[in-house]
Structure 1
Amino acid sequence: MDRIDAMRTFVTVVNEGTFIRAADRLEMSPQLVSKYVSRLEQHLGVRLLNRTTRRIHLTEAGTNYHQRAQQVLADIDDMENQVGDLQTQAQGLLRISAPVSFAIRHMAPLLSEFQKAHPGVGIDLQLNDRKVEVVEEGFDIVLRIGHLKSSSLIAKRIAPIRLVMCASPAYLKQYGTPQRPEDLRGHRYLRYSYMEPDASQPAYHWLQSKSQDGISDMISNNGDVLIKAAIAGAGIALQPTFISGSAIKEGKLQVILSEYEPEPMALYALYAHRQLLASKVRSFIDFIDGYFGDPPYWD
């Protein structure tokens, strides 16, 4: 048994979630995939996976082995990427996680242009607004928006992210335009569920206290839904301009309390710290750096 092939097969099964999808990814039969994993378990003398008819579940040993195996395979790829043509020509599958609304609105042209410049790189883009673990979930790069806390990961600042408070002209005509943060108390708030509290921002503090009182009028984990609700007159939304900007320019939304606008956040590219960075990762980081502009084109 080739231990590297068996290790790669096991990692692929975990990342894909099923033996069938792993087989498709590896271009081999599901029976051979299962055989590789079974032989790896026999070699290690421990069960790595609990199998059911529909799903696989990692054992504690499997979880630990998966994390270490991913790093070993990444290090092998990094080493090979420094040899011959791979040193200058990026190749392989690049797994990227990105926020849903940002990716839908702004990632397609970027990825298309990147692949034209680097035809040897395939893209596996997964959209999710939750906090994604780069190494544990097998991603090469995670794009994340916010104020980053200390981390063992490398964080490359890509673009500023401006937050604005906005509502439809019809809503403001009916309920009045807030002039001060405390005027928000009587208004409907359309809250993004992943937004972290920031009591240092007066306007946000009033909106957050309103939602903590249990009277938020709408909560969603997707900013596009909230902006469309705001356009329809459902209330006031606090959203980034990469989502709200076009509606503001078209007059469908009106910015309020601009003098109390929160401090800008940023879009970051996160990746694992390695001495030898894979060419595909390095090429993408170099490509996305400055791509959106500063200020970005949506502003």
Structure 2
Amino acid sequence: MDRIDVLRAFVMVASENSFTKAADRLQISPQLVSKYVSRLEETVGIRLVNRTTRKVHLTEAGLRYFQRAQQLLDDFDDLEHQLSDLQDDARGLLRISAPVSFSTAHMARLLTDFRKAYPHVDVDLQLNDRKVDIVEEGFDIALRIGNLKSSSLIAKHLAPIRLVMCASPAYLAEFGTPTTAEALQQHQFLSYSYMERNPLWPEGHDALISNNGDVLVQAAIAGAGITLQPTFIAGDALADGRLVIVLPELAPEPLGLFAVYPHRKLLASKVRSFLDFADGYFGNPPYWDANLV
């Protein structure tokens, strides 16, 4: 008895909540579908479905097995399709979660070029600065910025993320340009709420706290204080002089832009194609740092 056929029968029964409907979809007899599911339950040693005269209900174990079995079948189908042309094989909807400020500035260009190369892949880009649960929320890939901690996810480094302290020339003219860490005690700060607090910044000196870096950069340009921001947000203002880097020698170590995805030996072609395309796309150093010292 073919294990793939057994899995397909179980997944179809779980999807249709019916042996009869599953049999119709698979174009085999309901008796054979029932035999397949019974054999699977014997193999795993636990009941996966509760049968009634009209419907089939998954047990808790059945629900967990169904989710994994569906992914295994998708991976198996993807493996079979890899023998065809790789570009044409990349198709379907690719769901990506990504940070708000980075995406509004840089993802449109990447995704436009990606879809030119892989026109059969549609993209659903959801912007969110919180750390989404990729599996539970149904994402294929999440872009994350930081120093990633150990997890069950696979992470691919896409670009370095440089952080700088900066302020407007008008602010520095009024309050002075700090030349030492101690001089920061005399200044006001514009702080990003999702970032660990800079140990150089004294408590109680936050003029503005926000969960959006674009707001903080605009406030800094308006003269509200000093902010610590990635150059992918502040780069344009730094390049044209609206912002000035202060104490560059005290800048934190660069972070990284990572693409993270569930740990699977076989990636769907749409995921694999995006990861390969994004690798090196932004450059090293990335293009938003090209005009910065």
Q: Tell me how far apart the structure 1 counterparts of residues 14 and 263 of structure 2 sit (CA, whole Å).
A: 22
Unaligned 5+ segments in structure 2 are 1-8, 18-51
Matching residue within 57, 75, 79 for 1:78:
75
Q: Tell me how far apart the structure 2 counterparts of residues 196 and 6 of structure 1 sit (CA, whole Å).
A: 48
The alpha-carbon distance between structure 1 residues 172 and 265, as it changes in their structure 2 partners (threshold 3 A), is same
State the shift of 1:184 in Å.
1.1
Partner of 2:265: 275
State the shift of 1:71 in Å.
3.7
Say whether residues 1:216 and 2:222 are aligned partners: no
Report the residue type matching 2:76 in the other structure.
M
State the shift of 1:3 in Å.
5.9
> Secondary structure of 2:158's match?
strand
Partner of 2:6: none
The within-5 A match list for 1:219-230 is 219-230=209-220
The alpha-carbon distance between structure 1 residues 86 and 247, as it changes in their structure 2 partners (threshold 3 A), is farther
State the shift of 1:253 in Å.
0.3
Q: Tell me how far apart the structure 2 counterparts of residues 8 and 95 of structure 1 sit (CA, whole Å).
A: 22
Partner of 2:26: none
The alpha-carbon distance between structure 1 residues 4 and 166, as it changes in their structure 2 partners (threshold 3 A), is same
The share of aligned pairs that are identical, in percent, is 57
State the shift of 1:68 in Å.
5.8
State the shift of 1:278 in Å.
0.8
Q: Tell me how far apart the structure 2 counterparts of residues 205 and 175 of structure 1 sit (CA, whole Å).
A: 21
> Secondary structure of 2:199's match?
helix
CA contact (8 A) 1:165 1:239 kept: yes
Unaligned 5+ segments in structure 1 are 11-38, 47-60, 198-203
The alpha-carbon distance between structure 1 residues 237 and 8, as it changes in their structure 2 partners (threshold 3 A), is farther
State the shift of 1:45 in Å.
5.9
The alpha-carbon distance between structure 1 residues 77 and 117, as it changes in their structure 2 partners (threshold 3 A), is same
Partner of 1:150: 150
How many matched pairs?
242
**Post-superposition, which runs of at least 4 consecutive aligned residues in structure 1 deviate over 6 A?**
none
Q: Tell me how far apart the structure 2 counterparts of residues 86 and 185 of structure 1 sit (CA, whole Å).
A: 63
The within-5 A match list for 1:1-299 is 4=11, 43-44=56-57, 65=63, 69-84=66-81, 88=86, 89-197=89-197, 204-207=198-201, 209-210=202-203, 214-299=204-289
CA contact (8 A) 1:160 1:266 kept: yes
State the shift of 1:205 in Å.
0.9
Q: Tell me how far apart the structure 2 counterparts of residues 86 and 92 of structure 1 sit (CA, whole Å).
A: 17
Q: Tell me how far apart the structure 2 counterparts of residues 170 and 8 of structure 1 sit (CA, whole Å).
A: 63
1:188-245 CA-to-partner distances (Å, cap 9, x unmatched) read: 1100000024xxxxxx3121x42xxx44111111100100010011111100000000
The range that moved more, 249-258 or 71-80, is 71-80
Q: Tell me how far apart the structure 1 counterparts of residues 66 and 205 of structure 2 sit (CA, whole Å).
A: 47
TM-score (norm 1): 0.75
CA contact (8 A) 1:78 1:279 kept: no
State the shift of 1:120 in Å.
1.3
TM-score (norm 2): 0.76
> Secondary structure of 2:288's match?
coil
CA contact (8 A) 1:169 1:254 kept: yes
> Greater Rg, structure 1 or structure 2?
2
